[in-house]
């Protein structure tokens, strides 16, 4: 029996519904066969019926696969039905590993939209070797976490004619006249993701047995002892972005160094804040969140009183697609590099890096609208262009998997804007 192209697991969850909505609109154009999966047939029916009414598309023929995450046989059957599984069931720290295991065993590609570094790196540690052996791709963080950061660095690097030394990214959210908010599931994942970060050191020592060479010109830490700095060029306050972007980009740099023989790039992500008051509030929130998330009792408080601790931003109410219109994001990438191409991945220039490149990536509402578009474009590219990936399988980052594919071009055609603002390497090479 031939397999379906895509199954969306967790289709009745908040993120899953957005992914199903997007797939329903593009499946005929892309000639994709697909199904949805979850615990409750009633909820799966509701998803398809609601979207059929909203979109005017008959979805009655779409198969519904009943899966209990604690029932290995049902997970196995789901994986055997499809070439590629999009896993939208989080927190992935609790529910992700068993799904990845069955995908690898049954030679099914696995994508997720996780922003949990400990989970992502643990999956690489446990399943990379077997996935490569079975020629299966397991690619995490295929949503807003962390495709824009990973591909943004690649886009910046590929448009710089010489060798880049470092890249900083600056993330800005634009809510227009809307109030900022996010779903409770995102809050829950953040709580448990922060709590599990204490395991990262041990995992990384096992994954990255060969250290990257120390750069001669180290990217300076810009934040002060309170965790922020003011950027005069942007006219904004900036703080470290604590999502999965740095972890994912760093793993891509290891892949580039070990597989592609490329010189690694230093990377540091920030997010911007409009004024000093909100910067002060963010510092206080960060201190309280990080302290409470370390301990079981604190985590229970964060989850029980999520409205209070998130300043009213986290909500269990579902935001509609219309309510998200006008919300957008922008990531600015500031790279600095050398005036020449270096000989090999170990080479260091004797001159200070002095050529700049500034690029920008922007898109629609990041958490759900952009995420659903990104993960589906990743899925389509993986199904059709896996031969362009430098190895035949494994647990990879989006940057490692998709750098030589059409993914950036597809995203450009799907509402994302990639542009170059400044590029000294071209200007000076033409002198």
User: What contacts 419, CB < 8 A, 6 or more positions away?
Assistant: 359, 360
What is the predicted pLDDT for the residue at 427? Answer: 57
- The values of phi and psi at residue 102, to 5°, are -70, -35
Over range 395-399, report the average pLDDT.
Answer: 98
For residue range 34-60, list pLDDT tens digits in order: 999 999 999 999 999 999 999 999 999
For residue range 124-170, list pLDDT tens digits in order: 999 999 999 999 999 999 999 999 999 999 999 999 999 999 999 99
- Decide if pLDDT at 71 tops 70: yes
More confident residue, 311 or 62: 62
- Decide if pLDDT at 396 tops 80: yes
- Decide if pLDDT at 429 tops 50: no
Confidence of residue 319 (pLDDT cuts 50, 70, 90): confident
What is the predicted pLDDT for the residue at 34? Answer: 98
Location of structure tokens 């199903």: 20
- C-alpha 423/C-alpha 336 separation (Å) is 10
- C-alpha 228/C-alpha 251 separation (Å) is 25
Element counts in the chain: helices (H) and strands (E): 17, 16
Q: Please report, rounded to a whole number, the percentage of residues in the chain having pLDDT higher than 70.
A: 99
- Decide if pLDDT at 431 tops 60: no
- Decide if pLDDT at 177 tops 90: no
Over range 1-8, report the average pLDDT.
Answer: 93
Is residue 351 helix, strand or coil? Answer: coil
Q: Please report, rounded to a whole number, the percentage of residues in the chain having pLDDT higher than 90.
A: 85
For residue range 28-37, list pLDDT tens digits in order: 999 999 999 9
DSSP notation for 21-88: HHHHHHHHHHT--EEEEES-HHHHHHHHHHHHHHHT---TTSEEEE--TT-HHHHHHHHHTEEEEEE-
- Decide if pLDDT at 228 tops 70: yes
- C-alpha 90/C-alpha 93 separation (Å) is 7
What is the predicted pLDDT for the residue at 268? Answer: 97
Is residue 138 helix, strand or coil? Answer: strand
Average pLDDT of the chain is 94
For residue range 340-388, list pLDDT tens digits in order: 887 788 878 888 999 999 999 999 999 999 999 999 999 999 999 999 9
Q: DSSP class of residue 179?
A: P
What is the predicted pLDDT for the residue at 176? Answer: 83
What is the predicted pLDDT for the residue at 430? Answer: 43
For residue range 245-295, list pLDDT tens digits in order: 999 999 999 999 999 999 999 999 999 999 999 999 999 999 999 999 999
157: nearest Cα among 361, 327, 337, 290: 337
- Decide if pLDDT at 213 tops 80: yes
């Amino acid at each position: 029996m031939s397999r379906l192209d895509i199954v969306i697991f967790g289709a009745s969850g908040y993120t899953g519904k957005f992914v199903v909505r997007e797939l329903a609109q593009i499946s005929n154009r892309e000639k994709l066969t697909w199904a949805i999966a979850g615990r409750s047939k009633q909820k799966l029916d509701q998803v398809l019926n609601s979207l059929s009414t909203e979109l005017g598309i008959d979805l009655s023929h779409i198969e519904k696969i009943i899966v209990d995450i604690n029932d290995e046989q049902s997970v196995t059957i789901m994986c055997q039905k499809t070439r590629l599984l999009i896993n939208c069931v989080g927190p992935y720290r609790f529910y992700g590993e068993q799904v990845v295991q069955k995908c690898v065993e049954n030679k099914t590609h696995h994508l997720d939209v996780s922003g949990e570094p400990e989970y992502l790196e643990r999956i690489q540690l446990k399943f990379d070797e077997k996935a490569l052996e079975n020629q299966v791709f397991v690619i995490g963080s295929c949503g807003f976490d962390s495709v824009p950061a990973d591909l943004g660095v690649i886009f910046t690097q590929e448009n710089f004619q010489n060798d880049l030394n470092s890249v900083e990214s600056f993330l800005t959210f634009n809510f227009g006249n809307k109030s900022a908010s996010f779903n409770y599931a995102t809050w829950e994942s953040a709580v448990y993701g922060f709590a599990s970060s204490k395991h990262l050191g041990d995992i990384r020592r096992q994954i990255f047995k060969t250290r990257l060479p120390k750069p001669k010109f180290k990217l300076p830490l810009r934040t002060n002892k309170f965790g922020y700095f003011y950027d005069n060029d942007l006219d904004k306050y900036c703080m470290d972005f604590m999502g999965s972007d740095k972890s994912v980009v760093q793993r891509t740099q290891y892949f580039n160094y070990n597989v592609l023989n490329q010189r690694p790039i230093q990377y540091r992500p920030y997010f911007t804040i409009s004024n000093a008051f909100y910067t002060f509030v963010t510092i206080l929130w960060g201190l309280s969140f990080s302290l409470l998330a370390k301990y079981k009792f604190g985590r229970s408080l964060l989850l029980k009183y999520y409205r209070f601790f998130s300043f009213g931003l986290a909500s269990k109410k579902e935001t509609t697609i219309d309510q998200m219109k006008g919300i957008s994001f922008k990531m600015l990438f500031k790279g600095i590099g050398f005036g020449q191409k270096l000989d090999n991945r170990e080479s260091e220039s004797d001159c200070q890096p002095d050529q700049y490149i500034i690029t920008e990536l922007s898109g629609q509402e990041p958490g759900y609208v952009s995420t659903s578009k990104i993960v589906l474009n990743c899925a389509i590219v993986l199904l059709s262009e896996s031969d362009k990936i430098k190895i035949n399988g494994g647990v990879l980052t989006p940057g490692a998997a998709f750098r030589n594919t059409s993914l950036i071009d597809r995203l450009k055609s799907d509402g994302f804007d990639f542009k170059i603002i400044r590029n000294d390497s071209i200007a000076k090479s033409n002198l």
